[in-house]
């Protein structure tokens, strides 16, 4: 398969590319704008593999997208490019509207024009897989059942509203134009190569440096945590076995409160690298809550598991241990980022 993947130097996109290079014979055209959160290093061995091509381009640039599609003639598109940080969307929503809504619209129109040129067999086999978030569903109360593919949309932040809009566009292009689309919604991802403004790497790196560990509110907000390599395997399964027009909810059944996650990071780091000043929980500081902070996200992945033959392979404790070991072994990467591009004091979005 020739696969065009957008956002392939991002956290999840690079995990998908690494998975494809290691477990398939597919050829990948990686289209990435290379914004602050992109890392070519995260491609690892894929960066030098002849089956991978990196093109620096913006999905909102229709001419560039049409040229890339015409040149590389993909059999499928996996769309991961997005602005994804809630705090940044609160501070500056315009970039989220431009990339997540205008960019998705522009890509859809470019792909629709390309798809129309394919022969009947290629048209029937073509897929456009749009990767989204559970945040489009709003917030769950303590006793509410987890989100499913049938949950009504109720976005609460500029980020989640922009992703909800993009989901609706993708489904509309399927129902109106017949474009064979797939949508997947996932919960919180974590793992190697995550940009250090998100919750787990931010807390881990601050703890290693003896900085405060700021926790929004009382830390009771709950998220379902999915190891990124498990998510990558799920996305490949959606592309291979998903039904056009369908939605797939991808989760790990590993809910934890933010405070429990922070405490787990502290305990795991204390066991690996004790701090002479004492247990790292001493660094926890409760700070004013984020505006519109959703209380709980959790996904029921039953339908996806049955349809795709997929289940998360790692529990939270195993995935967290692997993640912390990776950050301990890759200090040069994150220390450079924190020194050059990131101030590091604000708590990152738990999503």
Active site amino acids = 134-135, 159
Q: Which of 113, 81, 90 is nearest to 9 (CA)?
A: 81
Distance CA 141, CA 310 (A): 27
Q: Which of 200, 230, 239 is nearest to 77 (CA)?
A: 239
Q: CA 335, CA 322: separation in Å to the nearest integer?
A: 19
Residues whose CB falls within 8 Å of the CB of residue 338, separated by 6 or more in sequence, listed in order? 196, 205, 344
**139: Cβ–Cβ under 8 A, 6 or more apart, which residues?**
154, 156, 294, 295, 296, 297
| CA distances (Å), origin 335, targets 64, 195, 202 | 34, 11, 12
Closest CA to 144 of 297, 39, 344, 308: 297
CA distance linking residue 185 with residue 223, whole number of Å: 14
Give the list of residues 6+ apart from residue 228 with CB closer than 8 angstroms, or none: 11, 12, 15, 189, 190, 191, 192, 193, 194
Q: How many other C-beta atoms lie within 10 A of the C-beta of residue 94?
A: 10
């Amino acid at each position: 398969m020739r696969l065009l993947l957008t956002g392939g130097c991002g956290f999840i996109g690079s995990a998908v590319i690494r998975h494809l290079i290691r477990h398939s014979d597919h050829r990948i055209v990686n289209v990435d704008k290379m914004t602050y959160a992109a890392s070519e290093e995260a491609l690892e061995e894929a960066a030098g593999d002849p089956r991978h091509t990196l093109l620096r381009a913006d999905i909102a640039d229709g001419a560039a997208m049409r040229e890339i599609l015409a040149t590389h003639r993909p059999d499928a598109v996996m769309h991961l490019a997005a602005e994804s940080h809630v705090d940044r969307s609160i501070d500056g929503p315009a970039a989220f509207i431009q990339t997540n809504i205008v960019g998705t619209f522009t890509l859809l129109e470019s792909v629709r024009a390309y798809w129309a040129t394919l022969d009947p067999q290629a048209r029937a086999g073509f897929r456009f897989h749009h990767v989204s978030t559970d945040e489009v569903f709003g917030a769950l109360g303590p006793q509410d059942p987890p989100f499913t593919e049938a949950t009504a949309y109720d976005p609460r932040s500029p980020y989640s509203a922009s992703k909800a809009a993009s989901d609706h566009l993708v489904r509309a292009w399927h129902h109106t134009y017949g474009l064979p689309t797939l949508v997947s919604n996932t919960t919180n991802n974590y793992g190697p190569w995550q940009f250090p403004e998100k919750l787990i790497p931010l807390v881990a790196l601050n703890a290693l440096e003896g900085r405060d560990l700021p926790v929004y509110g009382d830390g009771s907000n709950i998220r379902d945590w999915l190891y990124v390599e498990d998510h990558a395997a799920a996305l490949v399964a959606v592309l291979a076995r998903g039904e056009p027009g369908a939605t797939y909810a991808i989760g790990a059944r590993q809910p934890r409160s933010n405070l429990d996650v922070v405490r787990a990071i502290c305990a795991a780091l204390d066991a690996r690298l004790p701090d002479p000043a004492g247990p790292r929980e001493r660094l926890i500081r409760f700070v004013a809550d984020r505006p519109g902070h959703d209380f709980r996200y959790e996904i029921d992945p039953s339908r996806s598991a049955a349809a795709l033959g997929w289940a998360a392979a790692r529990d939270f404790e195993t995935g967290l241990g692997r993640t912390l070991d990776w950050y301990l072994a890759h200090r040069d990467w994150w220390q450079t980022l924190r020194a050059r591009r990131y101030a590091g004091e604000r708590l990152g979005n738990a999503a």
